[in-house]
């Protein structure tokens, strides 16, 4: 190998190493959470990855400024109250479907798409917007959201991506959700 070929190979090696390091750094980013507090992630606008898996294997990154009120409902497929809670979430989605300022994302934080579909069909539930259903099979994103050991958790983010409020456990979707949405729409934050 001639000197210029060695330099070229060395340069290519350095470039590949730099690209791999940059990729590893970017993939490791996640918005900060506070494990000593009893609330979820404070903001999702800091960048990074909060990836959930949609239908057909389409992933979605929940990090960033949503530009609208973002309701993130996380639940465990193992919770016996999950189906009842989903009925309320689906009814909420139906009531707010004409409002472009509200988006609801539903995340099964354990199991697979097949498990989620089995829960829905077993409970006779038909989601009004199936594209809003996601799974987090590894639980990695749920951990980043700081869900802890609760099996049902709902977080309301304001349009800037800041946590406005959150419901630990079941939520009264007929009456209680409206107050959370109003606080988020007004730009309030939890801290």
pLDDT tens-digit readout, 134-172 = 999 988 888 888 877 778 999 999 999 999 999 988 999
CATH H-level superfamily of 31-185: Glutaredoxin (3.40.30.10)
**pLDDT for 56:** 77
Domain extents in the chain = 1-29, 31-185
Tokens of 81: 């109250």
Residue 35 confidence class, pLDDT cut points 50, 70, 90: low
**pLDDT for 65:** 92
Q: Is the pLDDT of residue 183 over 70?
A: yes
Residue 191 confidence class, pLDDT cut points 50, 70, 90: confident
Which residues touch 127 (CB under 8 Å, ≥6 apart)? Answer: 86, 90, 93, 106, 120, 133
Q: Where are the alpha helices (DSSP H) in 3-156?
A: 3-28, 82-96, 113-122, 140-144
Q: Is the pLDDT of residue 37 over 80?
A: no
Task: Please report how many Cα atoms fall inside a 13 Å half-sphere around the Cα of residue 130, on the Cβ side.
Answer: 10
Q: Is the pLDDT of residue 16 over 90?
A: no
Task: Confirm if 71 and 102 have CB atoms less than 8 A apart.
Answer: yes
Which residues touch 169 (CB under 8 Å, ≥6 apart)? Answer: 150, 152, 153
Please choose, from the candidates 172, 136, 154, the residue with its C-alpha nearest in 3D space to the C-alpha of residue 39.
154
**pLDDT for 72:** 96
Q: Is the pLDDT of residue 47 over 90?
A: no
């Amino acid at each position: 190998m001639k000197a210029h070929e060695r330099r070229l190979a060395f340069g290519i090696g350095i470039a590949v190493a730099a690209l791999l390091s940059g990729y590893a750094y970017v993939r490791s980013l996640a918005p900060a959470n506070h494990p000593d507090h009893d609330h979820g992630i404070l903001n999702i606008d800091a960048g990074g990855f909060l990836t959930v898996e949609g239908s057909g294997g389409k992933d979605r990154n929940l990090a960033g400024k949503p530009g609208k009120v973002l309701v993130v409902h996380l639940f465990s497929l193992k919770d016996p109250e999950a189906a009842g809670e989903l009925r309320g979430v689906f009814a909420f989605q139906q009531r707010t479907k004409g409002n472009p300022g509200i988006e609801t994302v539903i995340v099964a934080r354990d199991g697979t798409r097949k498990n989620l579909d089995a829960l829905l069909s077993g409970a006779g539930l038909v989601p009004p917007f199936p594209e809003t259903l996601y799974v987090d099979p590894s639980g990695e994103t749920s951990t980043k959201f700081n869900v802890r050991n609760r099996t049902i958790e709902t977080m309301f983010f304001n349009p800037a991506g800041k946590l406005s409020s959150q419901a630990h456990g079941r939520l009264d979707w007929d009456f209680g959700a409206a107050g959370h949405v109003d606080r988020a729409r007004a730009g309030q934050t939890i801290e």
